[in-house]
Amino acid sequence: MVVAARYINRELVLVLLVVTLVLLTVTVGGRFISYLQDAALGKYSAQSILIILWYRLPGFLQLLLPFAFFLSILLTLGRMYAEQEFEVLRSGGVSPARLVTWLGPVTLIVGSAVGYFSLVLAPANDRLLTEFIRAQRANAQFNVVAPGIFHTYQRGRRVTYADGVSEDRLVLNDVFMAQLQAGEDIVTIRAEEGGQQTDPLTGVRYLVLVDGIRYRGESGRADYQVVSFKRLKQRLEEAPKSTRVGIEARTMEELLARQDAEALAELHWRISLPLVVVIAAIVGIGVARTKPRQGRFARVVPGLALFIGYYAALVFNKDVISDGLWPPALGMWAVHGLFFVLGLALIRNAALPARV
């Protein structure tokens, strides 16, 4: 029996690794394309995309791993039922309930990993990501400029364009700037080069333009101004420093200290994710049994429907708790209890003789 338990666990872990890798590749690939589009629009620098994805990785894994583990159980046990391997084990006294104990170590390992991601690592990375994006926005007027693209700032009141950027991103070539100033005067600047300079004493950043022309007003008006310059120094406005941190980036201690509906909803959600792994394993073992002459994938669609219903119920419950429409103290335990009982019922049904 020990050999059989090792065999099933080994098969399950291999399938889990493959499924997780596929799902993670799809998820990260989709996010990468989205961030690449944002970088093209000047929201981030191209170099920051991989950093952002790295910070988001624990958040991806805390959601992917429960689903990947459940799907792996369906695929692994479905193959064993389809190839009559489990019938051999059943003749030796192995029941679906015994599988719960056999798969217990892998379930606890995966659940612990999800718990670490949801309770510790993902919130910490969300906080680091918030600070990183804040720094990116503070330098957005220069650092994220992409050549050949118009970048807008200050809600469309300022437009910047550069025909080229040096490899070290310290010099902009063929710079164009247009800004709507107080009094609705339009100021446009055309310069051969531009660079950034920081005052060592105050830390204030300046945009330094070289060899250009500054236009102010509308052409044809008496107050229209045209000024040539060799060097123009303009202060860069700092992005407002927001001290607000999203609820996803709050630590467990902060959530426990707040005790409001939103904080308790987030707290119960984080605790729910590792529980999903355990309960989904029980449901998966119960639903994976196939009838004779059915294929190995026969129970995948019904199983996924159950898991999606479980996940949707948790998300709905979280929103209801956050809105104050459900007692926060009860949390999501009703949903967990319902699917736990359902899993036990499915395992009991799977232990009955198969109907042809």
Ranked by mean pLDDT, the top range of 6-10, 177-181, 339-343 is 339-343
Own/partner long-range contacts of 5-12 (Cβ < 8 Å, ≥24 apart):
5/102, 8/76, 8/80, 8/99, 8/102, 8/103, 9/102, 9/103, 9/105, 9/106, 11/76, 11/79, 11/80, 12/72, 12/73, 12/76, 12/103, 12/106
Last residue of a domain, one of 205, 235, 265: 235
* Predicted pLDDT of residue 243: 46
Can you tell me the distance from the alpha carbon of 313 to that of 329, in angstroms, rounded to the nearest whole number? 17
Listed residues 235, 253, 275: the one ending a domain: 235
* Cα(36)–Cα(67) distance, integer angstroms: 27
Higher pLDDT among residues 147 and 300, named by residue: 300
* pLDDT, position 22: 95
300 and 220 co-located in one domain:
no
Do 93 and 161 fall into the same domain?
Answer: no
- The verdict on residue 205 lying in a domain is yes
Nearest-angstrom CA–CA distance, 186 and 217: 5
Give per-residue pLDDT as tens, 238-264. Answer: 555 554 668 888 888 888 888 788 888
pLDDT at 143 > cutoff 60: no
Residue 355 belongs to a domain:
no
Put simply, whether the predicted model's pTM sits higher than 0.85 gets the answer no
Q: Which of 331, 306, 307, 336 is nearest to 320 (CA)?
A: 331
Quote the DSSP letter at residue 48: G
pLDDT tier for residue 353 given thresholds of 50, 70 and 90 = low
CB 118 within 8 A of CB 274: yes
Query: Is residue 143 situated within a structural domain?
Result: no
What distance in Å separates the CA atoms of residue 352 and residue 285, rounded to the nearest whole number?
A: 14
pLDDT > 70: percent of the chain:
85
Q: The tokens of 197 are what?
A: 């300079």
Asked whether residue 118 falls in the same domain as residue 75, the answer is: yes
Please identify, among 204, 235, 266, the residue that sits at the C-terminal boundary of a domain.
235
Read off the pLDDT of residues 88-98 as tens digits, 9 standing for 90 and up.
777 777 777 78
Top-confidence residue, 27 or 36: 27
Q: Which tens digits make up the pLDDT trace of 306-323? A: 999 999 999 999 999 888
Same-domain check for residues 230 and 248: no
How many domains is the chain built from? Answer: 2
Report phi then psi at 319, rounded to 5: -65, -40
Question: Is 124 in the same domain as 250?
Answer: yes
Q: What is the mean pLDDT of residues 338-344?
A: 93
Q: Which domain holds residue 213?
A: 151-235
Based on the domain organization, do 280 and 211 belong to the same domain? no
Beta carbons of 334 and 274 less than 8 angstroms apart = no
State whether 128 and 260 are in the same domain.
Answer: yes
In tens, the pLDDT along 67-110 reads 999 999 999 988 888 877 777 777 777 777 788 888 999 999 99
Report, as an integer, the average pLDDT of 260-284: 91
Helix intervals (H) in 184-260: 252-258
Structure tokens at 283: 């449901």
Percent of the chain beyond pLDDT 90? 30
Measured between alpha carbons, how far is residue 199 from residues 169, 210, 236, 294 in Å? Answer: 19, 18, 12, 74
Q: How confident is the model at residue 154 (pLDDT cuts 50, 70, 90)?
A: low
Residue 130's pLDDT is 85
The answer on 255 and 227 residing in a single domain is no
